[in-house]
Amino acid sequence: MCVFCKIVSGEIPSVKVYEDEGFLAFMDIGPVNKGHVLVIPKKHAETFVDLTEEEAAELFKRVNRIAKAVKLGLGADGLNIIINVGKASGQEVFHVHTHIIPRFENDGMKFGWRKLSYNDNEMEEYAERIRKAITPNDD
């Protein structure tokens, strides 16, 4: 059983902020900022792209609700809402989870964004590869 399934089952303790039949939100043990929450489906799936469109929509209903609570409850100036998908993205726990990270003006946190540029027709070529791969909702 994965570590988040163990949290769902109660085998590993966690500090919960929200729970319903299918979803759980609990405090991240190593917060980027204090108040960092993880929202998960109770049913095990490895990554976000393993969810159906319907399951993803249900997850995001909870993410929206908890995000408002983190912002209001902690008086955060902003939030980062992040899902890592796969090892290459930095995912370490292979049970789908959405990070909700409270952000404060001048909190000293900087994500390592960079800004590349495209040459010639490259942007259109990338867009076309993505467009061609979009499948209809087959939930």
Catalytic residues: 97
Residue 97 C-beta-side C-alpha neighbours within 13 Å: 24
Q: Cβ closer to ligand 5GP: 69 or 93? A: 93
Give whole-number Cα distances, 87 to 6, 49, 92, 137, in Å.
21, 13, 7, 26
Partner in contact with 26, chosen from ligand 5GP, Zn ion, none, beta carbon below 5 to 8 Å by kind: ligand 5GP
CA-based nearest residue to 48, from 15, 14, 100, 96: 96
Q: For residues 2-61, which are near ligand 5GP according to CB under 6 A? A: 3, 12, 14, 26-30
Partner in contact with 80, chosen from Zn ion, ligand 5GP, none, beta carbon below 5 to 8 Å by kind: none
CA dist 122 and 132 (Å) reads 15
Site map 64..103 versus ligand 5GP, x via CB under 6 A: --------------------x-----xxxx----------
Q: What is the enclosing helix (H) or strand (E) of 39?
A: strand 37-41
Partner in contact with 14, chosen from ligand 5GP, Zn ion, none, beta carbon below 5 to 8 Å by kind: ligand 5GP
Least CB distance from residue 67 to Zn ion, whole Å? 22
CA dist 76 and 135 (Å) reads 37
Q: Cβ closer to ligand 5GP: 76 or 95? A: 95
CA dist 18 and 62 (Å) reads 9
Residues that bind ligand 5GP (CB under 6 A): 3, 12, 14, 26-30, 84, 90-93
